[in-house]
Chains A and B, each alone.
Chain A
Amino acid sequence: MKKKVIAAIMAAAMVVTSLTACGGKKPTVPADAAGSAEAGSVEAGASDAAAPAASTGDDKTISFWNIATDEPDKTIWSYAVDQYNANDSAASGYTIDQVPTVNDQYKQKLSVAMSAGECPDVYLHWTGGPMREYIKSGYAQDITAIVDELGLRDKYNEAALEQCTVDGKIYALPVKNQSVAVVFYDKKMWQEKGYEIPKTIDELEALCDKMKADGITPFALANSAQWTGSMYYCYLVARYGGSEVITDAYNQSGSLVNDATKYAGDKISEWVTKGYFPDGVNSLSPDNGEDRALLYQGAGMMLHGSWQVASIKSENPDFYENLGAFPFPQVSESSADQTAVLGTLGDNFLSFNCTGDKLKEAVKMVAYYASDEWKQLDIDNGNLPPLKGATSEEPAWKDIIGIIENASSVQLWWDQYLPSSVAEVHKSSTQKLFDNSESSEDVAKEQQDALDEYFTENSGS
């Protein structure tokens, strides 16, 4: 008898751990009887019929997943949770349960949770391709009406809200930062050497040649992650052919095999041949900050996302004092808009997987990330919130804000804008430009083929 009990407990324990490993939330299958629970877990995993698990009002806890595992993110993200739980919980009866996960594992954890029907009520993402997958799967709710009701539209940057909008409906709210790709440089070093900020690609190339003559590697780039090098490609394409190149390709009204992608690919190949990029560029890792290290060691400039400001500030305060930024140079012979920036206005976004009152309360909680007090908190921590009237006194940020204000439009990074399957091909194919192993035409064709395949596979459903 005793043994049976032990066996039952063991089996139940195993089922529970296997479920929690997937869900990260309390399992919905009761693990009371060993046998039935085991069968239940198999069913829960395999079931196709599990409804898109937008939980309704009976559960009074709003689960909220984000990636705030380190400071200063912890402070920034906890603010709204603490405010809501202190001010609104009593009246509404809902409480927020914040679950932070390390960034590297977050995306996968979220996918696994969704596939198990255990999607959290509020979760963080980066918009673009994955957000469209979430919407398609029924895990992101339309919050347009609530946003209007709470008067949130006036608080956010229009372009930032635009990034959360699909077919005229708002599916997410921007939170943390306005990240755009700009060129960073060491003001002091440039002054000593007499370098001038290049306005055009021709000037940039002349500057790079000068740097090479001075024994300086012009670009600090670490491209093992592939999206870092892709920024050069995207900017060159946008400068030559405008942001329409990628939007047209995505709307199936144009092809990626065109003059703009050829220009971009050929330029990168040419720059690689001339030695503008560091040795072993495709093996250097941006995750370890190997690109910043090159910049500290005296490389000429670094094209990177503006979140680098915070990293440089904490990592190398002496260098930070002389950190400057300028927009990607222009292609003078092109008629396309030359002020567009590549980036994301929000950086982190929140979507909602609940309905009714719960959804409204969840949006109310997120609205604390649009309050003036939070705005200041975010700015103090080195970010530029996606809210109207956000400014910063930090010198590097002043340069960047100038670039954003001057920009006619913001083009989301291709690897976020494109559907995930195409984004991977975009990244791996452009990487081949950086060791000159594939021609610009083939790189463009590879991406277009991936797009075509995506549309063929998704046209039926």
Chain B
Amino acid sequence: MKGSTTLAKRRQRASAICAAVFLAPVIILMLVYFVYPIVATFANSLTRWNGISPEKIFVGSYNWNKLIHDAKFWKAFGNNIKVMAISLIVQMPIGILLATFLDAGGKKFNIFKIIWFLPLLMSSVAVGYLFHYALATNSGIFTAISELFGGGKIDLLGNQGTALYAVIGVICWQFIPFYMVYYMAGYSSIDESLYEAAIVDGATRTQYVTKIALPMLVPTIKSAIVLSITGSLKYFDLVYVMTGGGPGESTELMATYMYKESFSKYNMGYGSSIAGGMFILITLIAGVTMYVMNRNKED
């Protein structure tokens, strides 16, 4: 009835509908859980609001002024930077080493693969409690070792000088497996024939890794670095479980500070500006990092 073009048109229309149907859930999810919260956070940051009242009082830039002059926020930011720096220094090399080891070993090292992957399978809250006991001053691992050699008790989490580093250690323990798997995936995407060609050309295994595999892994490393930076700047759960930001403010991170302001102190307006500040700082740092890394590539 409609002639010979119908089939093509129908096909076009069908694929348009199909695309819409497949995209709609993602777009709706993005709008509801991503775009709307960000917009709402910035809107709330301009108000004084206790988080429960239907009434929000518009206070303009008051919260942002307060944020810029808030020593506690900047201390928390400093702690985040420490977490970020140590995470990069510790997690990246160990992750690459483990991945290289497993990649070289093949199937016979599967047992290591499983054991090393275990920490990532546990929930952060479980890891937090586990290490709360493992690092405990009374009967914890370090105290037990110290007492074995005639030393005193070691208080890692209750000491303002060491608490942050103890927590960072646990964060590394938890996330090294993630980067290990990430780099393993990077290795497996390198074509087998490159390895064969290198060996045929007389390269040793070490030469293959340092001269061929690692350079080819650079894009993976770059994205891992960005992941690690953003991850450690917005870190929350383990710290909240293990120390709650204490003792004092020694392990306070931006995210735990935001949580406390919003939900414990009922300052949802100010909490929102902390969240907004985090958003800006993290975007800035991640953006600069990506820019610097990509610029080097073009040189």
Q: Please report A residues at the B interface, Cβ cutoff 8 Å.
A: 3-4, 6-7, 10-11, 14-15, 18, 38, 41-42, 45-46, 48-53, 107-108, 110-111, 114-115, 117, 119, 130, 133-134, 136-139, 224-226, 278-285, 288, 420-421, 423-424, 428-429, 431-432, 434-435, 437-438, 457, 461
Contacts and interface: CB of A to CB of B under 8 A. Distances in A.
Contacts of A431: 246-248
5 contacts: A38-B28, A46-B40, A115-B268, A284-B138, A288-B132
Given A285-B132, A420-B264, A11 B28 contact: yes
B90 interface: no
Contact of A42 (B32, B132, B155): B32
Contact of A133 (B18, B48, B50, B135): B50
Interface in B28-63: 28-29, 31-33, 36, 40, 43, 48, 50-57
Residue among B24, B132, B266 having the largest count of chain A Cβ atoms under 10 Å = B266
A172 to B, nearest CB: 16
Contact of B244 (A46, A224, A281): A224
B212 interface: no
B29 A137 contact: no
Contacts of A38: 28, 31-32
B160 A52 contact: no
Given A7-B24, A7-B25, A437-B247, 10 more contacts: A3-B17, A46-B43, A115-B52, A133-B53, A137-B50, A137-B52, A137-B54, A139-B52, A428-B246, A457-B48
A461 B51 contact: no
Residue among B24, B56, B264 having the largest count of chain A Cβ atoms under 10 Å = B264
B113 interface: no
Contacts of B29: 14
A424 B244 CA distance: 12
A43 to B, nearest CB: 11
Contacts of A114: 51-53
Contacts of B156: 283
Given A42-B32, A137-B55, A139-B52, A421 B155 contact: no
B266 A284 contact: no
Nearest to A136: B53
A137 to B, nearest CB: 3
B137 interface: yes
Please provide the 6 A-B residue pairs with the shortest distance between their CB atoms, ordered closest to farther: A280-B137, A283-B158, A137-B53, A114-B52, A280-B155, A282-B158
A138 B264 contact: no
A139 B261 CA distance: 21
A303 B28 CA distance: 53
Contacts of A45: 36, 40
Contact of A280 (B32, B157, B248): B157
Interface string B135-161: 111100000000000000101111110
Contacts of A108: 263
Contacts of B248: 428-429, 431-432, 435, 437-438
Contacts of A15: 32
Contact of A51 (B24, B54, B264): B54
B243 interface: yes
Residue among B31, B160, B261 having the largest count of chain A Cβ atoms under 10 Å = B160
Contact of B138 (A11, A280, A420): A280
B265 A420 contact: yes
B24 A279 contact: no
Given A11-B24, A42-B32, A461-B48, A424 B40 contact: no
Given A111-B52, A279-B155, A280-B155, A435 B160 contact: yes
B153 A282 contact: no
A435 B137 CA distance: 14
Given A134-B52, A138-B54, A279 B153 contact: yes
A421 B160 contact: no
A224 B243 contact: yes
B150 to A, nearest CB: 16
A361 B249 CA distance: 47
Given A138-B53, A280-B157, A435-B160, A226 B246 contact: yes
Contacts of A53: 54
Contacts of B91: none
Interface in B231-279: 243-249, 260-261, 263-268
Residue among B48, B55, B135, B267 having the largest count of chain A Cβ atoms under 10 Å = B55
Given A3-B17, A42-B36, A283 B136 contact: yes
Contacts of A110: 52
A428 B249 contact: yes
B21 interface: yes
A424 B153 CA distance: 30
B52 A280 contact: no
A424 B29 CA distance: 35
A278 B48 CA distance: 42
Nearest to A437: B160
Given A11-B24, A11-B28, A14-B29, A283 B155 contact: yes
Contact of B25 (A11, A18, A136): A11
Contacts of B159: 280, 282-283, 435
Residue among A14, A139, A282 having the largest count of chain B Cβ atoms under 10 Å = A282
A436 to B, nearest CB: 10
Contacts of B249: 428
Residue among A52, A53, A108, A435 having the largest count of chain B Cβ atoms under 10 Å = A435
Nearest to A457: B48
A140 B29 CA distance: 35
Contacts of A434: 247
Nearest to A280: B137
B138 A278 contact: yes
B52 A282 contact: no
Contacts of A130: 266
Contact of A424 (B32, B33, B265): B265
Contacts of B246: 224, 226, 282, 428, 431
Given A14-B28, A428-B248, A435-B160, A115 B243 contact: no
Contacts of A424: 260, 264-265
A171 B24 CA distance: 47
Contacts of A420: 264-266
A283 B250 CA distance: 12
A282 B260 CA distance: 19
A283 B24 contact: no
B51 A283 contact: no
A114 B51 CA distance: 8
Residue among B17, B18, B243, B247 having the largest count of chain A Cβ atoms under 10 Å = B247
B263 to A, nearest CB: 6
